[in-house]
Structure formats: C-alpha cells, structure tokens
Structure 1
Amino acid sequence: MASHFLIAAPHSGSGKTTLTLGLLRALRHRGVTVQPFKCGPDYIDIQHHRTAAGRASINLDLFMASPEHLQTLYQTYRSGVDVAVTEGVMGLFDGADRMQASTASLAECLGIPIILVVHAKAMAYSAAPLLYGFRHFYAGIQIAGVLFNGVQTTSHFRFLEEACQDVGLPCLGYFPTHPDFTIPSRHLGLRTSSEIDYERIIEAIARKIPQTIDLDRLLALTKTDEEASLAQALSHRTACKVTIARDEAFSFQYHQNLAVLEALAEVQYVSPLRDTELPETDLLYLPGGYPELHAQALSANTTFRESVRAYCQNGGYAYAECGGLMYLGQQLTDVDGHSYPMAGVFPFSTSLQHAKLTLGYRQIHFQNTLLKGHEFHYSTLQEAEELSSLAPVRNARGVEVGTKIYRIQNTLASYVHLYWGDGPPWLTDLLRTLATSLYTHPHG
C-alpha cells in the first residue's frame, strides 16, 4: 500500500515549503519513490520540489482546472510511486472566494489526508483550541496528524504534544529553527537565483527531520489501499511545430501545459539568453520567469531579439505571458533604474521601479471560450494606456480588473499565466489550424 498526504497550515509562513522539501528528500533517502504535487498556481515551489524529489512536481489547482481533470492527473502521477506528497497553499481554508480552490477543497476533492503544520515558536498549550477548531470546522477533510515548526526544546514540545492528545490528533513530531534550514525569499516567492545553494539547504533539512519527526508513523497514518490507475495519454497529435523559450530567464511553466503541448505537437525548446536566432516554427510560446534578473544578457543577444521581432512583425503566431510580455516590449527597466532594449514587438515598456504587486486568479471569456489562469508580478507597464484589450479579464469573483490581453497581428501577450493542462478543445483546434495552414504565415 502506498502513502499519500498533504502538507497544510493554519496560515502562510508556517514552514510548509521547508518541511515539504525536507520530507521529499528524507523519504528519497529511504529508497522510496516519491511524487511531489503543489496545490495552487505556484511555478516556483515546484522547481524546488524537483530538486528535492528528483521528479517533476505537478500543479493541482481547482480554480484553473476541473475536479475531474485533477482526479485523473493525481491518479496518473501517483501510479507506481511509494509516496505522494502535496504541498498546500496559504492557510488551509484560504481560497479565491472563501474555500474555493483552497487547500482544504483540494484535499476533499482528491481524498488526501492532511498533515497540519503549526508554527508554535510562541505557543504552548494554546495549540489545543486551535487544533480543535481546524479538526472540527469542516467535516469534508481528514487531518491525519500534526507537525510543529519553530520548536527548539523537548520541554516546549511536551506542551504541544499534550495539546494534540487532548484534541485527539496524532502528534508526529517537531522541527527546530536554524539558519541552515532557511530558504531566502524573493518577490515572487522562493528564490531561484543561482547564488543560493538549494541542494545544501534541502539536504540539511532532510538529515534533521528523522531526528525529531516520526516518519514511520507518518507513512502508516497516511497509507491507502486504493490503487492508482494510469490514465490514457492524449491523442490527436498534429504536425504543428511549437517553439518554447526555456532558460533561467523563462522558467515559469506548468509541467502539464508542456506535457499537453508535447503530446499534441512537435515541441522544441530555445534559449533567448544563448541561442542566436529563432528556429523555424509554427507557434512561439514565451512563458513567464525572471527576465528582469537577466535583462542585460537578454538585451545583449541582439540577433535573437531581432529574429523574434521579425517573426512577429511578419505575422508569425506567438503567445507571451508575464515575463514573455516584458521581453516583447520596447525596453525593460530593472530595480536600479537601468533600461535595456527588448524585442520591440509591442509599443509599451516594463519597469521594476516603483514596483506594485498584482496578484490573483484570472478568467477570460474569449470567442465563447472560458480561459483561466493566474497573475502574479511586480513589474508595471508604461506607454500602454492607449492599447485596447482583446477581451475583458476578470478575477475569481467575476469583477473586471485592469489587466489586458494585447494583440499585434498574430502575437498575443498578457500578464496572465494560463493553464491548459487538461488539453482543451480550443488548443487542439488551434494547433490543427496552424499545422494544416488554413491561415498562411511565415516560418522562422
């Protein structure tokens, strides 16, 4: 029987990511195969999951995808593994609208037992009423056990252990605070820059976990006799050639988005940082990432920038989101005020000065199709006020927001990260249209 569990917490900043990474690696040290998942639209945590587990992490988001799709996805990637570990998002019940798309709603949808992480640095027996509330608030979920974070001594842990006993929840141990276990943060979440030694940090966490956390009991409490079944792969492959930007500057891609494209088309990857020109293609996809951290190098690669501009200006089909949108602008200004020329496809520019957080789920009604995604950035657009939007963009509650979908010829760009991991019909139709040249457009 395999085990599966979901790491959740009463609030953000409780240590979910730290413990998830450590557990993934600690379980891997035991010689078991472990599959990571991430609740929500995050595209940074999943990169660290891969480092810790040695396997691609899969996003599970109930706003952007249907319950049926997530159930199939979960069963598919659980098939053949010993342990499945899902990291929650924000607080357990925090959703786009009350519980909508929350960690709790995902746990209920997929029947995943919850391991609740409580940051107890300044808490003792008062943990009891907190745990009682989380245990009894919603009957649709199962809290299988509790882990305490930020606990330095066994005497402190005893108070917390007694709280669990009196509430009737299994106490699985605790984890201390230490500089060696700290993962620095960046404006979009955990850092991805190369100066941080993630391998060292993850390994230090993993070595410490078995000393204070009962892994055997954790696995025993979360065993299931359900056999995960492997879903059938997508069919209807087309002859369309899709080119995807992927390097340190463009790294925010949903794994399942890429899997669907690879199933439906011939996919090739390209680096705007290193490659000299855009190869022959039917569709160019520029995903999000950290172009502001590599603005100088992106700008210095003039031949690639010029090939992208020529492709778009000649009617080539392209889709850019967030970091890709920034790359297609006239210039990018970093936090220090240095401006660098970009591809120059759109008349606007982007800047990280006077940064302003824009965050939230997005839905777009376009040509009788509902598209869903997520927006999370600090950069701002300049000289874009006069440009109209191809379609209205609304938040999770249906309220229109200021985000726009920009279009020049056959190039679309937006700050929204779309999810199409369920292989929607519109994507297949688009690729078939491109492959059969129902619309003429140039290559390369």
Structure 2
Amino acid sequence: MRSELLIGAASSGSGKTTFTLGLLRAMARRGFVVQPFKCGPDYIDTRHHQMAAGRSSVNLDRFMMSEKHVEEVYRRYAFPADIAITEGVMGLFDGYDGMQGSSAGIAAELDIPVVLIVNAKSTAYSVAPLLYGFKHFYPKIRIVGAVFNFVASENHYYYLKQACSDAGVEALGYLPKQENIAIPSRHLGLSLDSDFCFDEFADRIADLVDKYVCVDRLLELTTVTGKSEYSRPKADIQQESFGSLRITIARDAAFNFVYTENIAYLERLGTVTYFSPLTDTSLPPTDFLYLPGGYPELHLPALSENQPMLDAIRSYIREGGHALAECGGMMYLCRAIIGQDGHTFPMVGVLDQTATMQPMKLRLGYRTLQWGEFRLSGHEFHYSSIVPAENALPSCVTAFSALGRQVDTPLYHYRNLLAGYTHLYWADPASNAWLHHFLEK
C-alpha cells in the first residue's frame, strides 16, 4: 500500500509547514520510507523536510518546470517511497497568475489527493462555507479531508467537526494552539539557525500529530493504486554528454540554498565535490564551480578572513574557470559586502561592485532571463542590493517577471562566470540548453 497527499491551505500562515514537518517525522518514526516534496521555488522548507524525514525534499514548480518534467521528477522520487507528502505553497489556489502554478494545479496534474489545513483561530462553524467552497470550486482536485490548526479546546473542535460534516469534508483531526511549535523567524524566511534544536522540535510536532490527528484514516484516504512503475525517459539520458566534468559546489552554513534536482542533474554530468568557503583553504581540481545562495551576511568576518580561499576562487575565475554564482554566491564574488551593522568586509573581488545589506528591502518573484537566444528560468528572493556606481557592471540579460513585465534583475557575465540574484533551475531538459552551451564554451 502506498499513500500520496498534498497538504494545502486556505491561506498562508495556516500552518502547512508545521503540520507537514510533524507528519513527515511521525511517518518516519513508524518506519515508513517518506518522500517529501515542496510546491513552488522554496529552498528553506525543503531543508526542514529533509531533516524531518531523512530524505531530500524535491521542488515541484510549474513556472520553472514543464508539465512533463514535473511528472517525471515526481514519479521518480515518489514511486520508491511508502508515502509521498507534498507541502503546498501559499493558499491552495494561489499561483503566479491566477491559479497557474498553484498547489491545486500540481495536485490536478499529478492526481494527488489534498488534505486541507485550516487556521481555526477566532472561528468555528463559519469554516463550513469555506470548506464547501474549496471542495467544489475546482472539480479536478480531490479534497479528502481537513486538519485544523490553532484549535483552543475539544469543544472548539466539536464545532469544527460539525462544520465539516455539513460541508461534506471529512474532519481528520487538529493541532492544539501551543506556543512551542513555531520555528524562529529569520529575515529570509524560516530560520536555519544551527543552534535551533530541530529534532526536538520535529518530535514535539509529531507527538501532537499522533495524538490529535487520525493518521491511519488519513493514510487510508490517500492510498493510491494503479500507478505504473517509474522508468527514466531515454531522451533525458541521451542529452547528458559531460560525464567527466569535475564539478565543485559550495556547501556550508553560508551557502546552502539549492534545488535537489539541480544537484542531481549535475551529478549526472560529472563528479560532484563539495567545499566550504568558510573553512577550506583551497579548491579541488575543478571544471565547473557553483556558488549557490545562502546567508553569507551572517558569516562576513569568517568569509572575509579566509584569505587563501578568496585568493583561490579569484584566481580560478580570472584564469577562465567556468563558474555560476547565485544571490549570496554572487555577493561573495563582489569587491565587498556591507553588513547590517554598516561594517564593510572585503570579499573575492572578481565582480567590481559592492553588495550591501543597508537598507534591507525585499525583492521577490519569478524571473525569466533572456540571454541571447537562450531563456533561463528561476526565482529571486533577497533583501540585499548592489551599491549604485557610475561604472556599474552591465547585465547580459533582459529580465521579466512572471507576468512578462520587464524588471531590472541583472545577470553578470565576466569571462566564464555567470552571476546574479536569480536562483536558476536547470534540471528540466526542455529548458536547459543554456547550461550546455555555457559548459561547452
């Protein structure tokens, strides 16, 4: 028996992540092989999923990925698991343009049953029309039940169950209102603080899920049958022609915002080696260097003081080494980073510009970058900026938002380096010709 479910919500802030983490940990503790997924471009929730379930979480995103690729990725990771749990994004029907790219769209395309999380704070029987509307608004999805969050008491839950019964949605339980089941916030989403006791936190939520949610009934309602065994398309295998590449990826507390399937794709192109710009003093033999985003602003003294690593990366890029740097990785390659406290820390210096955390202003959204004949897709999410300068580096792309409006998101091209704020997605064979062109140069 296998189960698949998508955890959706009426709106952001309903408790999708909390419930997802608790359910992942509860199922893993029962000995199930649990495969987590995340709708949308988030790279922080996926890390929490991995810590809760013990398996890498995979993004499903219909802006950055084709429908074929989403289906192939989902089946490849979900089929070997006992339970596939997908956390939705924002409200169930919220997409980048109406319902396009929404969790409901993913659920319909992949035929995944939906469990709805409802914020029950300051409401009771009034959730009935909400549940009825969500169940009937879009007939292509199946809402099999509801779990309530922030429930004050058993008496409160009695009225919520009554609402479920009258709306035709099965009540599957609730999470009680508690102060100790909140992840501390960081300015860029949910915290990844190393001093946060995540295992204890996940176990605490899992205990609540086991106590207050009808997990066995949830699994029964989300049982899937008849889906064929996965086999990887031959066309995808034939496209990969760089099997001997030596690929080096930054991975430590400062650089860790990656898409699981991007890394899996690189592993099919060559041998992947990880290093730490914080603690290592040299690069391994490298054909392609990848500096992903993360929290460099939280580690400015350590990054700036590691002079041997700064020298090694500077020499590699200036001598023509191929490299890709995203967001925090791009900031690291600047001349300097100005921290939130106003202090300036020298960095690699191959990009003749300065990044600053002052003032902090959010830039957020999907991006399409037109680079000559190539279109690159990704997501921008940061609070830093580049200090304006007379001799500012030119962007090599024209950038557009999800709605096709031109935006000023840059991508810099210096020798064999591409660097910018956009977290790019390149694992989809339908749209990654730019990566192969870049590696062939």
- Is the Cα–Cα contact under 8 Å of residues 22 and 209 in structure 1 kept in the other structure? yes
Matched, 1:395 2:398: no
Tell me, in whole angstroms, the C-alpha distance in 1 between the residues paired with 2:228 and 2:401.
34
How far does residue 228 in structure 1 lie from its aligned partner after superposition?
Answer: 5.0
Question: In the TM superposition, what whole-angstrom CA distance separates every residue of 1:276-329 from its partner, at most 9, and x where no partner exists?
Answer: 022221111111011011111111101100111111122222111101111001
Distance 1:259 1:428 in 2: 15
Query: In the aligned structure 2, how far is the partner of 1:250 from the partner of 1:229?
Result: 36
Structure-1 separation of matches of 2:389 and 2:227:
52
Partner of 1:442: none
- Partner residue, 2:272: 267
**Matched residues in 2 for 1:11 and 1:139: separation?**
19
The aligned counterpart of 1:203 is: 203
- From 352, 356, 376, the equivalent of 1:347 is 352
C-alpha distance in structure 2 between counterparts of 1:383 and 1:277, whole Å: 32
List runs of 5+ in structure 2 lacking aligned partners.
Answer: none
Report the identity percentage. 50
Describe the shift of the 1:384–1:7 C-alpha distance in structure 2 as closer, same or farther (beyond 3 A): farther
Question: Which of 321, 340, 343 does residue 338 from structure 1 map onto?
Answer: 343
Partner SS for 1:132: helix
1:33-67 per-position Cα deviation (integer Å, ceiling 9, x unaligned): 11000000000001110110000000000100001
Q: Runs of 5+ in structure 1 lacking a partner?
A: 434-438, 440-444
Structure 2 residue aligned with 1:140:
140
Partner of 2:223: 223
Q: Using the alignment, how far apart are the partners of 1:304 and 1:30 within structure 2?
A: 44
CA distance in 2, matches of 1:228, 1:237: 29
The amino acid that maps onto 2:377 is K
Of Structure 1 and Structure 2, the greater strand share is in 2
5 Å matches for 1:117-136? 117-136=117-136
CA distance in 2, matches of 1:99, 1:107: 12
Residue 251 of structure 2 corresponds to 246
Counterpart of 1:328 in structure 2 is 333
Match of 2:308 in 1: 303
RMSD: 1.4
**2:435 aligned to which of 421, 427, 431:** 427
Distance in structure 1 (CA, Å) of the matches to 2:398 and 2:436: 23
- How many residue pairs get aligned? The number is 433
Report deviation, 1:105: 0.8
Does the 8 A contact of 1:264 with 1:428 survive in 2? no
The reply to whether residue 169 of structure 1 matches residue 169 of structure 2 is yes
Contact 2:353 2:393 in 1 (8 A): no
Mapped to 2, the partners of 1:256 and 1:29 lie a distance apart of 26
Match of 1:28 in 2: 28
Residues 338-377 of structure 1: matches in 2 within 5 Å? 338-377=343-382
Q: Normalising by structure 2, report the TM-score.
A: 0.96
Deviation at 1:374, TM superposition (A): 0.2
In structure 2, give the amino acid aligned to 1:155.
N
2-side partners of 1:336 and 1:43: how far apart? 26
1:80 alignment counterpart: 80
In the superposition, the TM-score normalised over structure 1's length comes to: 0.95
| CA drift at 1:212 | 0.8
